Structure 1
Amino acid sequence: MSIIEDPKIVEITGRTRVLGILAHPTEHVKAPPGINRIAMMRGRDAVMVPLNVAPADLESFVASLRVLKSFDGAIVTVPHKQAIIRLCDEVSPQALAVGAANVLRRKPDGRLIGDQLDGIGFVEGLGDQDIAVSGRSVYLVGAGGAANAIAFALAEAGITRLTLANRTVEKIETLAAKLKGAYPALDVAIGTADPRGHDLVINGTTLGMNATDPLPLDASLLEQGMTVAEVIMEPEITPLLQAARETGCRIHLGRHMLDHQLQLMANFLGL
């Protein structure tokens, strides 16, 4: 059983440390039960709650966290991963390279520290399912915080070829330039909606969270033998994964990334 599938009731006390998951909207988030379970297992008086904050209110809300003395930190997710960087007092080298943070910790003096765990969580999730990365050719859709983190983690894990695709070409051109600078031996290309010719196909966008979303790529061009992976956790089987399964591809669920991030996130948040 996944750790996020066994939530328990958490008793709140006057000493309870508050953690959050910062998102907009929050209905799709899956981390709080898992983090709360870890807190209980580690004997920590702490609870994670959803923090639904619109982008226009992010700066003022984050400022308030500096003076919330019972607040220890938060997971940061869509659509705030990139915007949160400029609101931190300090960010890790990984977050700086990616241009996005997905965890935020408050120091006792009110300073806010950001880090990036998306990429390592995604790659470790693949490995746990016996999906090889090193030496493989990868097609990645997206240019947001998660996609950037995954691209860097895949490059670090030894992929040989990476094709980037996104509706806004300028964003992936920026990502491609950063990757080429950091990993000059990696074959990085700008692609289209055509995923053919790759071992691993990844949707690193939010397309698929809503029933009315278009597919992130041309699913009619998926090929048997491909592995098709998601970062989306709700719904578990997105339209892309359904199309991939019908084509005969192996599918990889978004929850595997979170499963492998939870312990890392808990450690970062001081649990």
Structure 2
Amino acid sequence: MQPVPEITGKTIFIPLIGHPVEQVKSPGPVNAWFSDNDVGAVLIPVDIFPEKVAAFLDAIRGTPNCPGVSVTMPHKQAACAGVDELTERARRAGAVNIIRRRPDGTLLGDMVDGDAMVAALAKNGVTVRGKTALVVGAGGAGTAIIYALAEAGAATIVVIERDGARADRLIGQLRRDYPRLQAHDVLPDDVTVDIAINASPAGMNAADSDPFPLDRLAGAEIIADAVTKPAVTPWLEEARRRGIAIQTGAEMTLAQLPTQIAFWGLDKENEDGGSGR
């Protein structure tokens, strides 16, 4: 069992906000990293009602022992609206999953789910360049993942999204930003998917239907999920039973931890004499 860090008046804290938060996986590895590296910080899950996100972020502006915030579903869009400045990838996704509090109290939002998904795929030996990727869900995380796949050189991206207007907008943006990319809102009959990703909440509840029919994904190199609870969704479990490689939501979460710790300035704590800034 990981030892509980000593909490003192010098401890800095990072709230991980969501609703609910019982499914989150990052506090364990983040706090283990803090402990292993003698960083006087703690990541704490905080269950925030959606209508209170803006007020919570406003309070963080006046909280000097909080270097930032981690954001999970369903608050990524609300957090995007509640910060003072966005990185380009956060602006493009219309969502934020990490926030840095600057010394003057202003909040900078970033979105690293996409890069984390691509990094996790690489760790599993899967390259994106030249591949056909299918992504279910074009919300904040889904859009970030789709753009990261395009940036990594995917040849074709299929966007499966229930909101037709949202899908149309995203596909239009992809075609404008990446003219050589083939972008579709349905999977063409003659196209074989190499990488399939669920970036929707489907699978969090036992009664959920599969994000996409596995019969259409028989030739996939890997099937990945952004859902972290259950650890292996029924969709992934069935894909594994069929002999297809899988990637869990926790793997995407773990892949972004170094980026998040650096974004908060906590990777330099030891070098800076424990300042955490």
Band of TM-score, shorter chain? over 0.9
TM-score where L is the length of structure 2: 0.91
1:210 partner amino acid: N
In 1, the alpha carbon distance for the partners of 2:261 and 2:86 equals: 17
Do residues 260 (structure 1) and 259 (structure 2) align?
Answer: no
Q: Which of these residues, 109, 114, 120, is aligned with residue 119 of structure 1? A: 114
RMSD between aligned residues: 1.8
Aligned residues: 266
* Structure 1 residues not aligned, in runs of 5+: 1-5
1:26 partner amino acid: V
Identity fraction in percent: 35
Q: Which residue of 1 aligns with 2:124?
A: 129
1:168 partner amino acid: D
Q: Which residue of 2 aligns with 1:71?
A: 66
Do residues 52 (structure 1) and 52 (structure 2) align?
Answer: no
Contact 1:195/1:222 (8 A) holds in 2: no
In 1, the alpha carbon distance for the partners of 2:250 and 2:189 equals: 25
Shift of 1:222: 3.0
SS, match of residue 237 in structure 1:
coil
Do residues 214 (structure 1) and 209 (structure 2) align?
Answer: yes
Q: Which residue of 2 aligns with 1:3?
A: none
Name the stretch that deviates more: 21-30 or 64-73. 64-73
Shift of 1:247: 2.4
In 2, the alpha carbon distance for the partners of 1:195 and 1:98 equals: 30
Q: Which of these residues, 205, 209, 223, is aligned with residue 200 of structure 2? A: 205
Shift of 1:194: 8.6
Q: Which residue of 1 aligns with 2:231?
A: 236
In 2, the alpha carbon distance for the partners of 1:39 and 1:264 equals: 14
Shift of 1:212: 1.9
In 2, the alpha carbon distance for the partners of 1:152 and 1:225 equals: 20
Shift of 1:246: 2.4
Q: Which residue of 1 aligns with 2:3?
A: 8
Shift in alpha-carbon separation, 1:72–1:66, aligned structure 2, 3 A: same
TM-score where L is the length of structure 1: 0.93
Q: Which residue of 1 aligns with 2:269?
A: none
Correspondence 1:163-202 to 2 at 5 A: 163-191=158-186, 197-202=192-197
* Structure 2 residues not aligned, in runs of 5+: 267-277
